[in-house]
Structure 1
Amino acid sequence: MIDIKLIREDPDVYRQAAKVKGFDVDIDELLTVDKQLLDARRKLQAVKTAQNTAGKEIAKLQGPDKQPAVAKMGELKDQAKKHHEKIEQLEPRFQKLMLCVPQIPAPEVPLGEDETDNVEIRRVGEVRTFDFEIKDHVELGELLDIIDIPRGVKLAGTRNFILKGAGAMLHQAVLRLALDRMIEKGFELLTLPVLVNEKAMEGTGFFPIGRDEAYLCERDGQALVGTAEVPLTAYHGDEILETANLPKKYVAMSTCFRREAGSAGKDTHGLYR
Structure 2
Amino acid sequence: MLDIKFIRENLDTVKNAAKVKNIDFNFDLLLDLDRDITELKGKVQELQEKRNSHSKKIPKASAEERPALIEEGRAIGTELDAIKPSLTEKELELRNLLLQAPMIPSPDAPIGNDENDNVEVKKHGELPQFNFKPLDHVEILEKQNWAEFEKIAAVSGSRSYSLRNDMVLLEMAMHRYALEKLQSKGFTLVSTPSLAREEALVGTGHFPTGRDQVYYLPEDDLYLSGTAEVQLNSLHSKDILSEDKLPILYAGYSPCFRREAGSYGRDVRGLIRVHQFMKVEQYVICKNSPEESNKWHKILLETSEEIVQDFELPYRIVECCTGDMGTGKVRMYDIECWVPSEQKYRETHSCSQLHDWQSRRTNTRYRDNDGKVQFVHTLNNTAVATPRTLVPFLECHQQEDGRVRIPEKLRPYLGGAEFLGK
Normalising TM by the smaller chain, what interval?
A: over 0.9
Query: What is the aligned partner in structure 2 of residue 232 from structure 1?
Result: 232
Q: Distance in 1 between matches of 2:142 and 2:42?
A: 68
Q: Distance in 2 between matches of 1:157 and 1:113?
A: 34
Query: What is the aligned partner in structure 2 of residue 88 from structure 1?
Result: 88
Structure with greater helix share of residues: 1
Whether contact under 8 Å (1:7, 1:14) holds in the other structure is: yes
Q: Distance in 2 between matches of 1:75 and 1:94?
A: 29
Whether contact under 8 Å (2:21, 2:113) holds in the other structure is: no
Q: Distance in 2 between matches of 1:214 and 1:19?
A: 27
Report the CA distance between 1:56 and its aligned residue.
2.1
Aligned partner letter, 1:83: I
* Aligned: 1:246 with 2:246: yes
| Residues 43-72 of structure 1 deviation map (CA, whole Å, 9 limit, x = unaligned) | 111111112222222233232233332222
Gaps of 5+ in 1: none
Identity %: 37
Report the CA distance between 1:240 and its aligned residue.
1.7
Report the CA distance between 1:171 and its aligned residue.
0.7
Could you say if the C-alpha distance between residues 112 and 97 of structure 1 is closer, same or farther in structure 2, counting changes exceeding 3 Å?
Answer: same
Report the CA distance between 1:245 and its aligned residue.
2.3
Aligned partner letter, 1:149: F
SS of match in other structure, 1:71: helix
Query: What is the aligned partner in structure 2 of residue 66 from structure 1?
Result: 66
Number of residue pairs the alignment of both structures matches: 273
SS of match in other structure, 1:121: strand
Query: What is the aligned partner in structure 2 of residue 35 from structure 1?
Result: 35
Report the CA distance between 1:184 and its aligned residue.
1.5
Report the CA distance between 1:4 and its aligned residue.
0.7
Query: What is the aligned partner in structure 1 of residue 146 from structure 2?
Result: 146
Report the CA distance between 1:88 and its aligned residue.
1.9
TM-score (norm 1): 0.93
SS of match in other structure, 2:153: helix
Whether contact under 8 Å (1:24, 1:100) holds in the other structure is: no
Structure with greater strand share of residues: 2
Matches within 5 A, 1:160-239: 160-239=160-239
Q: After superposing the two structures, state which structure 1 stretch, 114-123 or 228-237, moved more.
A: 114-123
Q: Distance in 2 between matches of 1:37 and 1:216?
A: 33
Aligned partner letter, 1:15: K
Whether contact under 8 Å (1:192, 1:252) holds in the other structure is: yes
Aligned partner letter, 2:121: I
Q: Distance in 1 between matches of 2:258 and 2:217?
A: 13
Runs of at least 4 residues off by over 3 Å: none
Whether contact under 8 Å (2:20, 2:111) holds in the other structure is: yes
Gaps of 5+ in 2: 278-422
| RMSD value, Cα | 1.8
Q: Which has the higher contact order (CA 8 A, sep 6+)?
A: 2
Report the CA distance between 1:36 and its aligned residue.
0.9
Could you say if the C-alpha distance between residues 117 and 270 of structure 1 is closer, same or farther in structure 2, counting changes exceeding 3 Å?
Answer: farther
Aligned partner letter, 1:192: T
Q: Distance in 1 between matches of 2:71 and 2:20?
A: 56
TM-score (norm 2): 0.61
Q: After superposing the two structures, state which structure 1 stretch, 106-115 or 155-164, moved more.
A: 106-115
Matches within 5 A, 1:94-133: 94-133=94-133
| Residues 206-263 of structure 1 deviation map (CA, whole Å, 9 limit, x = unaligned) | 1011111111123333211011110111111122222232222222122221111111
